Amino acid sequence: MSIEVNGKTLETDEEGYLADLNQWEPGCADVMAAIDDTVLNENHWEVINFLREYYEEYQIAPAVRVLTKAIGKKLGKDKGNSKYLYELFPYGPGKQACKYAGLPKPTGCV
Amino acid sequence: MSETKKFLFVNRKAPYGTIYAWESLEVVLISAAFEQDARMAFIDDGVYQIAKGQDTSELGIKNFSPTYNALGDYDINKIYVEKESLEARGLTVDDLLPLTYEDEDDDWAEKDSIKVVSSAELAELMDQSDVILSF
């Protein structure tokens, strides 16, 4: 499988995750979201950017429980809860947001 | 939900050269997602897995040591390092990554996760564990 981003063809796996994480650019997230009939707003981007920073620091995509707690610490309690995150990413904040952010599927995600 | 079991993940090998260290770390993180009581022990060359300042640029392998810093976020905060193994390699706790966690029951105070234990204390910990996985 592959996606088209700004005239480039980027390879993805069967679940839509980028094959080469280094190829990520913000446009990937918009293209992937469009496939899921989603338009990204600044709240989505807050989570996507957070995930990219987390990956940069720890070299893993956090499990959803860890993500929820960490978001709460950084962005406030009203955002660090599953309801808020699932409203933004109905396919699962771990899986869906990590995919848009160009990260691998979260470790410990089943 | 079934009862929580005490898991002890015993890490004995150097971080690179074999897949054991990374596999162990992944299993530990996954077990935390299932809310099991996971502890880690580092003995023999396994102590190098959590050594500071790892540089894998010449190896062509990803340096996954930053991931150990995430253990606290996964509520894995009982990390035992065998005293004899450190001494035999001329290492002290200051040569190890400063792994910490935030204690929910103590106003999220940051605390050390690493505890240096003697071989005899480690044997006692093994005795108290329900499941021991050796990597």
By C-alpha distance, the chain B residue nearest A63 is: B33
Residue A109 has a pLDDT of 56
Write down the domain spans for chain A. Answer: 2-100
Partners of residue A53 in chain B, C-beta under 8 Å: none
Residue A89 per-residue DSSP state: -
The answer for residues whose C-beta is within 8 angstroms of residue B72's C-beta and 6 or more apart is B99, B100, B101, B102, B113
Report d(CA A24, CA A13) in Å as an integer.
Answer: 14
Report pLDDT for A105.
Answer: 81
Which of A66, A109, A110 comes nearest B73 by C-beta? A66
For B29, which of A57, A107, A110 is closest by C-beta distance?
A107
Question: In terms of CA atoms, which chain B residue is nearest residue A59?
Answer: B67
Element housing B81 (H / E)? strand B79-82
The pair phi, psi for residue A44, each rounded to 5°, is -60, -45
pLDDT at B34 > cutoff 90: no
Per the residue annotation, which of A40, A70, A75, A109 is the catalytic one?
A109
Q: pLDDT tier at B96 (50, 70, 90 boundaries)?
A: very high
User: Can you list the alpha helix ranges (DSSP code H) found in A1-110?
Assistant: 26-35, 42-58, 64-75, 82-88, 98-100
Q: Is the pLDDT of residue B99 over 60?
A: yes
pLDDT of B101-112, one tens digit each? 998 888 889 999
Contacts of B25 (CB under 8 A, 6+ apart): B64, B67, B68
Map residue B17 onto helix, strand or coil: coil
Q: What is the pTM of this model?
A: 0.86
B42 to A86, B82, B126: CA distances (angstroms): 38, 6, 12
Calpha distance B82→B50 (Å, rounded): 12
Cα end-to-end distance, chain A, whole Å = 22
Predicted-complex ipTM score: 0.81
Among A17-31, B26-40, B41-55, B115-129, which is the least confidently predicted range?
B26-40
Q: What is the pLDDT of residue A1?
A: 84
Classify domain A2-100 at the CATH superfamily level.
DsrC protein, C-terminal domain (1.10.10.370)
Residues 6+ apart with CB under 8 A from A37: none
Distance in angstroms (rounded) separating the CA atoms of residues A92 and A62 = 13
The answer to whether B20 and B135 are in contact (CB under 8 A) is yes
Q: Which of B24, B35, B74 to mutate to test the interface with A (most CBs of A within 10 A)?
A: B74
Q: What is the pLDDT of residues A18-64, one digit of tens each?
A: 998 889 999 999 999 999 999 999 999 999 999 999 999 999 898 88
In DSSP notation, B37-69 reads EEEEEE-GGGGGGGBSS---TTTTS---GGGGG
* Structural domains of chain B, ranges and CATH numbers in brackets: 6-134 (3.40.1260.10)
pLDDT of residue A108: 57
Residue A106: closest C-alpha in chain B: B30
Amino acid present at A96:
Q
Q: Do B74 and A63 touch (CB under 8 A)?
A: yes
Query: Which of A36-40, A91-95, B118-122, B125-129 is predicted least confidently?
Result: A91-95
pLDDT of residue A110 exceeding 80, the answer is: no
**Cα–chain center distance at A85:** 11
Q: Which residues of B touch A58 (CB under 8 A)?
A: 66-67, 69-70
Of B32, B64, B74, the CB nearest to A59: B64
Alpha carbon of B36: minimum distance to chain A alpha carbons (Å): 13
Residue A28 known to be catalytic: no
pLDDT tens digits along B43-83: 999 999 999 999 999 998 889 999 999 999 899 999 999 99
Residue closest to B133 by CA, chosen among B50, B45, B26: B26
**From A67, which residue of chain B is nearest by alpha-carbon distance?**
B73
Cβ-defined contact of A108 to B64 (cutoff 8 Å):
no
